[in-house]
């Protein structure tokens, strides 16, 4: 699977391609397709100020260096998905972005990743890049956090907020 998109010099979406439309529909967000995206700021699709700042920094770095490669995870309830994102400067100071699925690992479904389930107001912070979850002062795999927090038996789940764990922060801000 390859998902492609391009932003202009002001980081506005100008083009999508590859399997973008198929991926959006398969993940329950058909509203994130084609013409509905064009002209919108890329960061408007990124939750949390920390992740918006990181996204802007990666785009700036790609423009300065010519290219940036970023490994990350984009998990679904029943699988871990390992991906790589390539950001490359292109014409008129835009950035072409290509995300490639490297591998999938099936796992028992993790309800926390199911957006259709009821949510309460508290937040659980998850690293946007590696999907580890902050549990007090430690960052652990989501399965460990779900068990430690008793989320298997909870009538509703916390909201998921995206941040960045210390190892990923060191990798991206080094």
| Average model confidence (pLDDT) across the chain | 87
Please give the pLDDT value at position 83: 93
Report the distance separating Cα 107 and Cα 70, nearest Å: 24
In CATH terms, is domain 2-106 a member of 3.30.70.930?
Answer: no
Gap between the terminal Cα atoms of the chain: 29
Q: Where are the domains of the chain?
A: 2-106, 111-167
pLDDT confidence bin for 65, thresholds 50/70/90: very high
What the block records as the tokens of 37 is 């995206």
Nearest alpha-carbon partner for 8 in 92, 98, 99: 92
Please give the pLDDT value at position 174: 66
Please give the pLDDT value at position 51: 81
Neighbours of 125 (CB within 10 A): 21
State pLDDT tens for residues 149-167: 887 777 888 888 888 899 9
State pLDDT tens for residues 17-55: 888 778 777 777 777 777 778 899 998 888 778 788 888
Report the distance separating Cα 27 and Cα 60, nearest Å: 29
pLDDT confidence bin for 98, thresholds 50/70/90: very high
Report the distance separating Cα 5 and Cα 21, nearest Å: 11
């Amino acid at each position: 699977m390859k998902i492609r998109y391009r932003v202009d010099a002001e980081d506005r979406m100008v083009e999508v391609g590859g399997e973008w439309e198929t991926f959006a529909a398969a993940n329950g967000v058909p509203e994130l397709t084609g013409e509905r995206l064009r002209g919108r700021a890329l960061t408007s699709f990124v939750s949390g100020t920390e992740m918006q700042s990181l996204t802007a920094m990666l785009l700036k770095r790609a423009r300065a260096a010519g290219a940036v490669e970023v490994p990350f995870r984009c998990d679904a309830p029943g699988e871990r998905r390992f991906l790589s994102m390539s950001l490359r400067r292109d014409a008129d100071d835009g950035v072409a972005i290509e995300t490639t699925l490297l591998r999938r690992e099936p796992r028992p479904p993790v309800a926390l990743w199911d957006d259709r389930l009821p949510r309460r107001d508290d937040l659980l912070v998850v690293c946007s890049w590696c999907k580890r979850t902050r549990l007090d002062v430690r960052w652990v795999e989501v399965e460990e956090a779900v068990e430690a927090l008793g989320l298997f038996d909870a009538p509703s789940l916390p909201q998921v907020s995206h941040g960045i764990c210390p190892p990923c922060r060191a990798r991206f801000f080094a």
